[in-house]
């Protein structure tokens, strides 16, 4: 099985051995995958690629019903059965693995996934194109996870901190859901956006996504009573700054994969257009550079074989 791994910021093709399937696992032939710069940073010795769309080509003993089904595969693969998972915290399950970080990811001909977390593209979801589907399982799922965890609704003031495709599509999502959206990539920008909008006294939803050191900015600029939800942000967070504020701070390492069918339905029904957040091209030696370039323009690289 052919796969791409990262060496000196360039992809090289290698021949990977196919692992045997556990009963509830399926082997998915990768059609389109999404590739963000953070996926490349986190891959280490693994094949990168955290989210994809593809078709099931082989099933474990307890998963035969999935044969030939076209599926979305999200980054997070937890056990789904431990106390932590059953309480809803699948992102911190002790046996959780992240595709492309802890196990080989989507820059390959095939990947192995647990049926519990894949979403079949059926029952109204058939119409999503491969390019859009890979984006749905990656940046859009993350964006929707942040939006939902903050309990965002129409009329809320939402400050989105981030510079990449998650931030871009999150702004779009919040706008179409009727929120008042402010976007910033730095503390200065956030302060002026809040002042411009005359929101200095209103509690807000501060959603922290794909950008450097945004947690500190979030705590520094959030108004009293705000809810800050952060996804794997970098940067040191001062505990004393947090204690002096009147904020609710929530960290979600990854969006819950159970949100994936709902996320896909928004795109399938035409409620949310995502094509403007995507650059699509064939997977190749230059894909890491293409991913960086796409990210710099607020877009995500969707690669295909």
Residue 288, token pair as written in the block:
């890491």
To the nearest whole angstrom, how small is the minimum distance from the Cβ of residue 282 to Zn ion?
37
Report in angstroms how near the CB of residue 32 gets to Zn ion at its nearest: 28
- Minimum Å distance from CB 116 to Zn ion? 10
Q: Length of the chain, please?
A: 305
Asked if 101 contacts 148 with a C-beta cutoff of 8 angstroms, the reply is no
Among 1, 79, 103, 148, binds Zn ion (CB under 5 A): 79
User: Contact 49/9 with Cβ under 8 angstroms?
Assistant: no
97 binds Zn ion (CB under 5 A): no
What is the DSSP pairing of strand 248-251 with strand 227-230?
Answer: parallel
Question: Per rule CB under 5 A, is residue 82 in the interface with Zn ion?
Answer: yes
Size of the site for Zn ion (CB under 5 A): 5
Q: Is 85 one of the binding residues for Zn ion (CB under 5 A)?
A: yes
Nearer to Zn ion, 77 or 142 (CB): 77
- Dist. CA 173–CA 190, nearest whole Å: 19
Q: Is 78 in the site for Zn ion (CB under 5 A)?
A: yes
Q: Is 98 in the site for Zn ion (CB under 5 A)?
A: no
Of 76 and 182, nearer to Zn ion (C-beta) is: 76
User: Cβ neighbours of residue 42 under 8 Å, at least 6 residues apart?
Assistant: 48, 98, 100, 101
Q: How far apart are CA 87 and CA 48, in angstroms?
A: 30
**Closer of 79 and 251 to Zn ion (Cβ):** 79
Nearest residue to the partner Zn ion, using Cβ: 93
* Block residue for tokens 């963000």: 36
Residue 241: CB atoms within 10 A of its CB come to: 13
The smaller minimum CB distance to Zn ion, of residues 85 and 158, is found at 85
CB of 178 to Zn ion, least distance (A): 35
Long-range contacts of 127-130 (CB under 8 A, 24+ apart): 127/268, 128/264, 128/267, 128/268, 130/31, 130/32, 130/53, 130/304
Give the nearest distance from C-beta 285 to Zn ion in angstroms.
38
Q: Which of 267, 255, 296 is nearest to 172 (CA)?
A: 267
Name the token pair of 12.
């090289």
Instruction: Phi first, then psi: give them for residue 173, nearest 5 degrees.
Output: -60, -45
Check if the beta carbon of residue 260 is closer than 8 Å to that of residue 142: no
Smallest distance, Zn ion to C-beta of residue 90, A: 6
Residue nearer to Zn ion on the CB measure, 84 or 187: 84
279 lines the binding site for Zn ion (CB under 5 A): no
**Shortest distance, position 97 Cβ to Zn ion, whole Å:** 11
> Per rule CB under 5 A, is residue 110 in the interface with Zn ion?
no
Stretch that binds Zn ion, among 4-12, 92-100, 121-129, 229-237 (CB under 5 A): 92-100
Q: How far is the CB of 254 from Zn ion (least distance, A)?
A: 13
Q: Is 93 in the site for Zn ion (CB under 5 A)?
A: yes
**Among 35-43, 93-101, 139-147, 261-269, which window interacts with Zn ion (CB under 5 A)?**
93-101
Name the site residues for Zn ion (rule: CB under 5 A): 78-79, 82, 85, 93
């Amino acid at each position: 099985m052919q796969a791409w791994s990262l060496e000196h910021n360039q992809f090289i093709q290698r021949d990977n051995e196919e692992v045997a399937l556990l009963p509830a696992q399926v082997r998915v032939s990768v059609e389109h995958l999404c590739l963000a710069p953070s996926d490349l940073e986190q891959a280490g010795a693994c094949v990168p690629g955290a989210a994809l769309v593809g078709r099931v080509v082989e099933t474990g003993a307890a998963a035969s019903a999935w044969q030939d089904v076209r599926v979305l595969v999200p980054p997070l693969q937890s056990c789904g059965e431990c106390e932590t998972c059953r309480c809803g915290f699948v992102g911190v399950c002790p046996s959780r693995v992240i595709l492309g970080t802890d196990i080989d990811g989507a820059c390959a001909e095939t990947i192995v996934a647990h049926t519990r977390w894949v979403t079949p593209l059926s029952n109204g979801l058939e119409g999503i194109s491969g390019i859009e589907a890979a984006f749905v399982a990656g940046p859009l799922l993350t964006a929707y996870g942040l939006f939902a965890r903050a309990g965002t609704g129409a009329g809320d003031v939402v400050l989105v901190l981030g510079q990449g495709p998650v931030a871009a599509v999150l702004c779009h999502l919040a706008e179409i859901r009727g929120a008042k959206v402010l976007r910033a990539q730095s503390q200065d920008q956030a302060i002026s956006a809040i002042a411009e909008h005359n929101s200095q006294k209103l509690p807000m939803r501060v959603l922290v996504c794909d950008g450097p050191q945004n947690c500190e900015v979030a705590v520094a600029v959030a108004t009293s009573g705000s809810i800050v939800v952060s996804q794997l942000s970098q940067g040191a967070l001062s505990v004393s700054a947090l204690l002096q504020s009147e904020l609710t701070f929530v960290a979600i390492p990854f969006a819950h994969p159970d949100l994936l069918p709902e996320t896909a339905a928004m795109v399938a029904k035409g409620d949310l257009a995502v094509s403007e957040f995507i650059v699509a091209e064939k997977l190749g030696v230059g894909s890491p550079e293409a991913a960086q370039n796409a990210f710099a323009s607020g877009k995500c690289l969707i690669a295909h074989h």
